[in-house]
Chains A and B, each alone.
Chain A
Amino acid sequence: MTSAYAPFIVGVPLASAILLLFFGKRLGKLSGIIGSVAVGVAFVMGAIEFLSIVDADHEATFSSYHLFDWLAVGGFHVGLDLLVDRLSIVLVLVITGVGFLIHVYSIGYMDGDERYGRFFAYLNLFVAAMLLLVLGDNLLVMFIGWEGVGLCSYLLIGFWFEDRANATAAKKAFIVNRVGDFSFLLGIFLLAVSAGTLTFAGVNGSAASGVLGGTTASIAALLLFGGATGKSAQIPLYVWLPDAMVGPTPVSALIHAATMVTAGVYMVARLFPLFEAAGFDVLLLVAWVGAATAVVAAVIAAAEYDIKKVLAYSTISQLGYMFLALGVGAYSLAIFHLVTHAFFKALMFLGSGSVMHALDGETDMRKMSGLRKVMPITGVTFMMGWLAICGIIPFSGFFSKDAILASAWADGQYALWAMGAATAALTAFYMSRLYLRVFEGETVLPAKLEATHVHDAPPSMAAALIPLAILSVVGGALNLPGVLSFENFLGPVLGEPEVAHGITAWALGIAATILAGAGIAVAWSLYLRPGGLQLRDRLERMLGPAVRAARGKLYVDRAYETLILQPGRDLATFSADVLDRKIIDGAVNGTGRLIAGSSEILRRVQTGYVRNYAAVFLAGVVVLFSVLIIRVAA
């Protein structure tokens, strides 16, 4: 079946991006509306495709669109093909849906920025690239989107590039991603050589049928997962995401929470037969990396004071959950968590943007308190996001997170389950710490601001916050057992996950809720209850080194600094100072100096006295003739 709209889903935002890139300045305020409408149109087309897939009988659960043959080398073909199936259409709806809301939000948030049109051009370009990433039918098309979103991420993190720190953060994101992308590219090369095809169906087919050997499949899966750790900010390449928060907040919401960072999750889910065919248990590694990332990022988030950085570490942590789900074989649950996370994390980022908008860019949670009273829309919507991520029934986060923990248990990975559960408690703690400090309690504003200046979200921002808040509340219903089943919907593509049933499921759900409740209670007693400050001091003294380590971000950045950056700089300095300046320049300058020096001596021979020259002639002739005579005689 040929998909009617697939190329336009990518094409409309792309066309809008090009339009705004060239005419953004002239269009002025109109560019925000054009950008939003373009994404809205893509969403409508995605919805039509979605309905046609839902309507179709089981056999025709996908449709594709062949744009043109891209590469044809011998028997190796790569086409610019798009694939619309149940997996990719879900992602398309999330990207265009959440993307549309964030575009609308940006109309208000970016109002008055001198590069207003440029912002929407980049945002549209990002949406187009991301859609190409999820709609691509082969790894190479996916890779175009993969690099495209990386580029847009770089451009948007450094959107306010006048500040050196922003430009540095953008470069860091780009370079760290490059490490992952290189691994991804090597994986693509390996698959192109060993499987002879790059289409997902082809790669998965040859992995499942055993054409691809277990070792080759392992190496390819590891390389691809290396790419995923870069893009999806997992250990060891997560360090770029917290720094990326210097970009405009809608960017953090769209790119660094809802969509781009989930690309790795999508890729692993898309290629799960390859990961399963690997001789070495790559999926177990995926699960462990995910679980470890979840715990580490949650610990750092609990010590962070910058609102956006808490959310960034929280994103890393939640992405860890998704990889944990992938690792235990619950692919559709990973995608389910991806969807709910996109709702509530985008919501909270936009809420924090609303706070920054009101407080003149302030992000330090120590300088604010009780904001819900002065900005009720932001406060209440943020509360929905907070309850969702903490995993409180019946908010969306409960369903997706609980399902992941249950499937880790059902898979027999009790250690991973424990790590996930600990993360759940930590998540509840640090998110409550954030929410309670910022929105509850007595109203305190940063000293320099007048209370009258502080305002709630303007209409376009509220227009994005409210739908996302509703989705955060009811999003869990997508996978309500027996009612609507997200798992069943994705079943034809991703298979049915193994989940706990009966009494175990109930016990696990209750355990997770208790842990979340405990996290919230601890945060409440530390930050909201009278006397919490003394308790905090005592706790800090007791846990001294642990608290310091968490505040120092577990010294990961510093470890990279000493282990990789400093040796790199030393090598560069060595190359410049010793190799280049001493050895190479030394050789060149030495040659020059040798010639100059010897000329200095030899030029004395030129006396200017004619008789000297004549004497030298004579000597030369004598030598010449002696040689001739000796040779003739010999």
Chain B
Amino acid sequence: MTSVPPEYFLALAGLMFTIGVVGALTRRNAIVIFMFIELMLNAVNLVFVTFSRMQGTVDGQVVVFFVLVVAAAEVVVGLAIIVSIFRRRRSANVDDVNLLKW
């Protein structure tokens, strides 16, 4: 069986990460931005797994589990903040939340 070369995985991960960055920077809806951040995290996870397979070790995969757990916790906190902002302002637009400055 011919395996898929690792470059393909890396290219896919790079593509996902780029889409994530561009999306996170361009979108205004906080939930959408959140989703793009998740996309970037998963791109990184894919890179970890790819290199793990290339090396033949499980270190990278262990890190992926960590990332998944931390991402889950982060989503919980982040979504809670977004929900409470939405309750106050009737909006999830990040550009409306710009008081934390100077």
Chain A residues within 8 Å of B, Cβ to Cβ? 603-604, 606-611, 614-615, 618
Contact = CB atoms under 8 A, between A and B. Distances in A.
Contacts of B26: 611
Pairs A-B, 10 closest by C-beta atoms: A608-B98, A608-B101, A610-B94, A606-B101, A603-B102, A609-B98, A608-B100, A614-B25, A615-B25, A611-B25
Contacts of A614: 24-25
Interface in B1-53: 21, 24-26, 28, 33
Nearest to A603: B102
Interface of B: 21, 24-26, 28, 33, 94-95, 97-102
Contacts of B21: 618
B98 A611 contact: no
A354 to B, nearest CB: 83
Contacts of A609: 94-95, 98
Nearest to B100: A608
22 contacts: A603-B102, A604-B102, A606-B101, A606-B102, A607-B98, A607-B101, A608-B98, A609-B94, A609-B95, A609-B98, A610-B94, A610-B97, A611-B25, A611-B26, A611-B28, A611-B33, A611-B94, A611-B95, A614-B24, A614-B25, A618-B21, A618-B25
A609 B101 CA distance: 9
Contacts, number: 30
B16 to A, nearest CB: 16
A608 B25 contact: no
A608 B24 contact: no
A607 B101 CA distance: 6
Contacts of B97: 608, 610
A603 B25 CA distance: 21
Nearest to B30: A610
Contacts of B98: 607-609
Contacts of A618: 21, 25
A611 B28 CA distance: 8
Contacts of B24: 611, 614
B86 to A, nearest CB: 15
Nearest to A599: B102
A147 B54 CA distance: 94
Nearest to A615: B25
A358 to B, nearest CB: 82
Given A606-B101, A608-B101, A610-B97, 6 more contacts: A607-B98, A609-B98, A610-B33, A611-B26, A611-B94, A614-B25
A607 B94 CA distance: 12
Nearest to A609: B98
B94 A608 contact: no
Contacts of A615: 25
Nearest to B22: A618
A615 to B, nearest CB: 6
A614 to B, nearest CB: 6
A610 B100 CA distance: 10
Contacts of B100: 608
Contacts of A608: 97-102
Nearest to A611: B25
Nearest to B37: A614
A609 B93 CA distance: 11
B64 to A, nearest CB: 21
B78 to A, nearest CB: 12
A308 to B, nearest CB: 74
Nearest to A607: B101
A138 B54 CA distance: 97
B53 to A, nearest CB: 23
A611 B26 CA distance: 8
A604 B94 CA distance: 19
Nearest to A621: B21
Most chain A CB within a 10 A radius of its CB, from B97, B100, B102? B102
B94 to A, nearest CB: 5
Most chain B CB within a 10 A radius of its CB, from A603, A610, A615? A610
Contacts of B99: 608
B35 to A, nearest CB: 14
Contacts of B101: 606-608
A325 B77 CA distance: 103
A610 B26 CA distance: 11
A604 B102 CA distance: 7
Contacts of B102: 603-604, 606, 608
A610 B25 CA distance: 9
Nearest to B99: A608
A414 B98 CA distance: 101
Nearest to A606: B101
A610 B97 CA distance: 8
